Structure 1
Amino acid sequence: MDSDARNRHASSFGAAANAYAAHRPDYAHDAIRWALEPAPGPRVLDLGAGTGKLTATLAAMDADVTAVEPDQAMLEELNTTLPEVTALSGSAEAIPLPDASVDAVLAGNAMHWFDMAVAGPEIARVLAPGGVLAGLWNTVDDGVDWVAGLAQTSGPAAIGPRDTPASWRTETANLHLLTSDAPVRFGSPEQSGFPHGQLRTADSLVATLGTRAGMLVMAEEERETILTRIRRYLATRPETSEGEFTLPMMTCVLRVRRL
């Protein structure tokens, strides 16, 4: 998408901050451990932290975490949920931290919104030598039959090209620092995926998909048409038609190390 469309999608979440906090999943602990494995220390920046889904897991894993988020409504949700965490207003393109002040920069379902031409040097600035940049994405496991049907039924606004494991690999392969003339160099990128899941009901899964950027920016009538179609599909599947079920997921990680 062009830059205007990207900005419109990226700024859509604040209006749904409460729903985002209520329905978006956390991240697989094994994925976070793998992301942080090469980091030289415990200081972690959660960049584009949203309502704190990744921040909360990092804090629970005893990381020394600082959160940075540009949207004030999302930041307020984060502060309400995690009052003990340092949370700052800022963006990937203007990080309000000193040089070499963190050992890892993590971004949960956010790196694809960054303008990496600007954000790349800024991330490099705040990373200590040997530090790690890692993006994490929660994807739905379309290797499971009913989840593949859900993806087909939902369409790209609700389950897009980064939202299934195989397509995620292709879509994120170039979301790292490639410029050979940058003053700070990064190593080769690595990708990996880790099993995850989220306990849902049909209603809460519909609500979760309704917080996707593609859904938030569309006209209300079109949005309701898609959500109704998803509800009907879930009602036809024995896995999802009654009570709670686990949505099969993968937390996928792209990491690269500052040299």
Structure 2
Amino acid sequence: MDHDEQLVHASSFGAAAVAYAEHRPDYAREAVRWALEAAPGPRVLDLGAGTGKLTATLVALGAEVVAVEPDAAMLAELRGALPGVRALAGRAEEIPLADGSVDAVLAGNAMHWFDMVVAGPEIARVLAPGGVLAGLWNLMDDQVGWVAGLAQVSGPEAIGPRDTPAGWRTETARAHLPRSAAPAFFGSPEQAEFPHGQLRTADSLTATLGTRAGMLVMPGPEREARLAAIRSYLAEQPETAQGEFTLPLRTGVLRTRRR
């Protein structure tokens, strides 16, 4: 998408902040541990923190967390859910922290919104030498048959190329990290994936997909028609038609280290 379209998508979440907080999944703890394993200390910035999905996992793992989020509604949800966390208004391109003040910068389902030409050097500025930069994405495991069918019904606005493991590997192999923006600052990137899952019902999974940026910017009638098709599909699948089920996910991690 072009720059203006990306801005529209990136700024769409605030209107759905409550639904985002309720329906979006957290992140596999082993994925977060892997992201942090080479960090030189416990100070972590959750950048583009949203409503605090990744923040909460970092707190549970004992990190010293500061969260930075540009959207006021998302930030309000985070502060309400995690009142003990230092949470600041800010963005990746202008981080409100001092030089070398964190040992790791993590971004949960957010790094693809950053303008890395500007954000790369800014992230390097706040990282201590040897610090870690990592992006985490929750991926729909389309190796499972009904999930692959759901991706077809939902369309790329709800389940796009970066939202499944194979597409994510390709997309992140050539984007999102500041290799071209700040090559002097960061080393070679690494990818890893970790099994994850989220307990859902047909209604809550439909609501989850409704919080995707591509769905949020759809015209109302088109969005409702797409959500109705998703509900109908889930009602027809034996795995999802009755009560709760586990949505098969994988948490993908892309990490690099500051030189």
Q: Aligned partners of 1:190, 1:21: CA distance in 2, in Å?
A: 29
- Mapped contact 2:194–2:252 kept (Cα < 8 A): yes
Q: Aligned partners of 2:257, 2:208: CA distance in 1, in Å?
A: 32
Map 1:176-255; keep pairs closer than 5 Å. Answer: 176-179=177-180, 182=182, 184-255=184-255
Pairwise CA distance, 1:226: 0.6
Pairwise CA distance, 1:122: 0.2
Residues 211-237 of structure 1 show CA distances to partners (whole Å, capped at 9, x for unaligned) of 000000010100011111011110110
Q: Aligned partners of 1:176, 1:113: CA distance in 2, in Å?
A: 11
- Mapped contact 2:121–2:185 kept (Cα < 8 A): no
Residues 154-209 of structure 1 show CA distances to partners (whole Å, capped at 9, x for unaligned) of 100000111000100111112112238x4842110000100000000000000000
Q: Aligned partners of 2:163, 2:156: CA distance in 1, in Å?
A: 9
Residues 19-63 of structure 1 show CA distances to partners (whole Å, capped at 9, x for unaligned) of 000000000000000000111000000000000000011001110
Percentage of pairs with the same residue: 75
Q: Aligned partners of 2:123, 2:161: CA distance in 1, in Å?
A: 25
Pairwise CA distance, 1:135: 0.2
Q: For 1:162, what is the secondary structure of its paired residue?
A: helix
Map 1:140-179; keep pairs closer than 5 Å. Answer: 140-173=140-173, 174-179=175-180
Q: Aligned partners of 1:169, 1:161: CA distance in 2, in Å?
A: 10
Runs of 4 or more, structure 1, over 6 Å off, are: none
Correspondence for 2:61: 61
Residues 52-101 of structure 1 show CA distances to partners (whole Å, capped at 9, x for unaligned) of 00001100111000000000000000000000000000000000000000
Q: For 1:234, what is the secondary structure of its paired residue?
A: helix
- Mapped contact 1:124–1:184 kept (Cα < 8 A): no
Residues 222-253 of structure 1 show CA distances to partners (whole Å, capped at 9, x for unaligned) of 00111110111101100000000000000000
Aligned residues: 258
User: CA RMSD, aligned part only?
Assistant: 0.9
Map 1:117-136; keep pairs closer than 5 Å. Answer: 117-136=117-136
Q: For 2:242, what is the secondary structure of its paired residue?
A: coil
Q: Which runs of 5+ in 1 are unaligned?
A: none
Q: Which runs of 5+ in 2 are unaligned?
A: none
Question: How high is the TM-score relative to the length of structure 1?
Answer: 0.98
